[in-house]
A and B are shown apart, each in its own frame.
Chain A
Amino acid sequence: MEPFITPEYYEEFYPDAVDEWTLSQHLQAKYGNLDKIENHYKTFIVRPRHRLRIIAVSPNKVQSRPRKTSH
């Protein structure tokens, strides 16, 4: 986990965690586990639930949805 790509995991330990080595040490010390890294793996890339919906319909159809003019 690179700080540049996943800063949200690093900011909690800024500026002490600088790489996955130190991030893991800080997570382990604070939480007693590395569940947050598991969470990163679980959520960083997910399969889209609806496959290619926007591409499958024409752009005109997307635009032809009635716009709400007032609430």
Chain B
Amino acid sequence: MIAGAGLNWVRIPIAFWAIEKYDNEPFYAKASWKYFLKAIQWARKYGLRINLDLHALPGSQNGWNHSGKLGPINFLSGVMGVANAQRGLDYIRVIAEFISQPQYKDVVPMFGIMNEPGIGGSPEGLAVLRAL
């Protein structure tokens, strides 16, 4: 139906717990990955391309509910900020390497590595985020 409407891209959000979670996190881990693989198959079949969107990073990159956890930003901020950012980079690498494989790269040519990161309104936060 998407292809029939003349559209040729879909943006697919994915959370870090598609890859793994830590024990203290309540998320349903590793489940959505297989549906992402299914989406790749369908996209290939119907001639769509995927803009993959990492929508939720460890610690919450923006503090909004769609980051997985509403509340404070614990990504590049707070006691676990650097650790969570390092973890986030690892997941970005996992996804980037996966979609760069020859059998996937033409279907998933775009990867939004972090949805709407927050900086707490500070210029320092923006500098840190850019550096990351």
Contact = CB atoms under 8 A, between A and B. Distances in A.
Note whether A and B form a binding pair. yes
Interface of A: 2-4, 18-22, 24-25, 28, 34, 37-38, 41-42, 45, 47-48, 51-52, 55
Contact of A24 (B28, B66, B67): B28
Contacts of A42: 35
Contact of A38 (B1, B28, B65): B28
B69 A21 contact: yes
B69 A37 contact: no
A18 B26 contact: no
B123 interface: no
Interface residues of B, number: 19
Interface of B: 1, 4, 15, 25-28, 31-32, 35, 39, 42, 56, 65-70
A47 B42 CA distance: 8
A31 B104 CA distance: 37
Nearest to A2: B66
A41 B65 contact: no
Contacts of B39: 45
A21 to B, nearest CB: 4
Contacts of A45: 35, 39
A26 B32 CA distance: 19
Nearest to B35: A41
A38 B70 contact: no
A21 B26 contact: yes
6 contacts: A2-B66, A4-B66, A21-B26, A34-B31, A41-B35, A55-B4
A18 B42 contact: no
A2 to B, nearest CB: 4
A47 to B, nearest CB: 6
